[in-house]
Amino acid sequence: MEFNKENLMRVINQGWTNFRRNSWLAFSTVGIMVLALLIFSGLVAFNVVSQNAIASLEEKVDVTAYLKTEVSEGAALEIARELENRSEVLFVNYVSRDQALEEFKKRHEDEELIQEALKELGQNPLQASLEIKARETAQYASLVSFLEQGRFGNLIDKIDFYENQTVISRIQKISSGLRVGGILVTLILSLIAVLVTFNTIRLTIFNQKQEIEIMRLVGASNWHIRGPYVVEGAIYGIIAGLAVLIIFYPIVYFTSPKIQAFIPSVNLANYFSNFSGEMLVLVLGSGISLGIASSLIAVRKHLKI
């Protein structure tokens, strides 16, 4: 069979006709594909939630280095500049002694006892500090040792890293665990979904084993036999993909506020409406390729001459 427009239209037509005439079988196959794609989309959503939750936790982690009271502002700013030049540092914020006092006063505005005590003291008891934010949680340890063992070691009084250390390492463990786990679960469940879909399409085509044999006896080329099945598989994929989007988006909009109440930084509804184009391509694309690939593999078995 040559590839021209007429033959292509013929194959597409036949695929569509097969789909209509097999409506019962088609319905159940599409149903299985919908389940498979829903699992897939659900995993995408789960990964979005978990990544966002981790990111928001990580954002809260920082380290403050308190400078000795005799360190001049110039020296402090030099340390800050040095830190900012390091690649793992996101930003450094210098808080001078006066600023620290201002903030302290503001924070304890209503507590007269503290205000009184400060006045009584007559001088500023607070230290200047550097708030340091690293790009990744894992980098704090090396930053801290740079500060302690470097040439600024004698200017620094203490670093609150050690108080934060347990929290930091726990977040690190959870986040890497969730990342690896998410990928693993996605892979395994997707594999199961693909196998179930493939098997369903295989059974659909197995039903037509005799038809394929007859086509071969009449002299149909392999592509002429395969073509309509491939088109049928693609139609399964398109319908299943659209159905999944129709089911998935309302669920997202419904659950989004509930998840946001739990983890405020995660807005699923926003995320998926921003990426609706990508979701359309992803879900439809995986549906269509799943349908086509399953059909191709399933027909192949019956095409031996």
Partner 1 sequence: MITFDKVIKEYPPAPRLRQGYGGQATLLRAGNGNHGAYRALDDINLEIKDGEFVSIIGPSGAGKSTLLKMLIREEAPSSGRVLIDETNVAELEDGQIPHLRRKIGTIFQDFKLLSQKTAWENVAFALEVIGASVQSIEDDVPKVLKIVGMESKALNFPHQLSGGEKQRIAIARALVHRPKILLADEPTGNLDLLNTFDVIKLLTKINEFGTTVVLASHNREVVNSIGRRVITMDKGKIIKDQEQGKYSI
**Rounded least distance, CB 299 to partner 1, Å:** 15
Q: Pick from 113, 121, 261, 305: which binds partner 1 (CB under 8 A)?
A: 305
Does 8 engage in binding with partner 1 (CB under 8 A)? Answer: no
Does 5 engage in binding with partner 1 (CB under 8 A)? Answer: no
**Rounded least distance, CB 208 to partner 1, Å:** 7
Q: Considering the complex, state which of residue 14 and residue 99 has its C-beta at the smaller distance from partner 1.
A: 14
Does 70 engage in binding with partner 1 (CB under 8 A)? Answer: no
d(CA 291, CA 229): 9
Q: Considering the complex, state which of residue 52 and residue 222 has its C-beta at the smaller distance from partner 1.
A: 222
Q: Considering the complex, state which of residue 1 and residue 55 has its C-beta at the smaller distance from partner 1.
A: 1
**Rounded least distance, CB 201 to partner 1, Å:** 16
Q: Considering the complex, state which of residue 190 and residue 222 has its C-beta at the smaller distance from partner 1.
A: 222
Does 214 engage in binding with partner 1 (CB under 8 A)? Answer: yes
How many angstroms from the chain centroid is the CA of residue 288?
A: 23
Q: Considering the complex, state which of residue 29 and residue 208 has its C-beta at the smaller distance from partner 1.
A: 208
Q: Per CB under 8 A, which of residues 109..168 are in contact with partner 1?
A: none
**Rounded least distance, CB 9 to partner 1, Å:** 9
Q: Pick from 120, 217, 261, 264: which binds partner 1 (CB under 8 A)?
A: 217
**Rounded least distance, CB 203 to partner 1, Å:** 16
Q: Considering the complex, state which of residue 212 and residue 279 has its C-beta at the smaller distance from partner 1.
A: 212
Does 6 engage in binding with partner 1 (CB under 8 A)? Answer: yes
**Rounded least distance, CB 209 to partner 1, Å:** 12
**Rounded least distance, CB 234 to partner 1, Å:** 18
Residues forming beta bridges with residue 134, ordered by sequence position: 89
For β-strands 129-134 and 63-67, DSSP reports them as antiparallel
DSSP-assigned states of every residue in the chain: ----HHHHHHHHHHHHHHHHHTHHHHHHHHHHHHHHHHHHHHHHHHHHHHHHHHHHHHHT--EEEEEPTT--HHHHHHHHHHHHTSTTEEEEEEE-HHHHHHHHHHHTTT-HHHHHHHHHH-S--PPPEEEEEESSGGGHHHHHHHHHHSTTGGGEEEETHHHHHHHHHHHHHHHHHHHHHHHHHHHHHHHHHHHHHHHHHHHHHHTTHHHHHHHHHHT--HHHHHHHHHHHHHHHHHHHHHHHHHHHHHHHHHHHHHHHHHSTT--HHHHHHHTHHHHHHHHHHHHHHHHHHHHHHHHHGGG--
Q: Which residues bind partner 1 (CB under 8 A)?
A: 1-2, 6-7, 10, 18, 21-22, 208, 210-211, 214-222, 224, 305
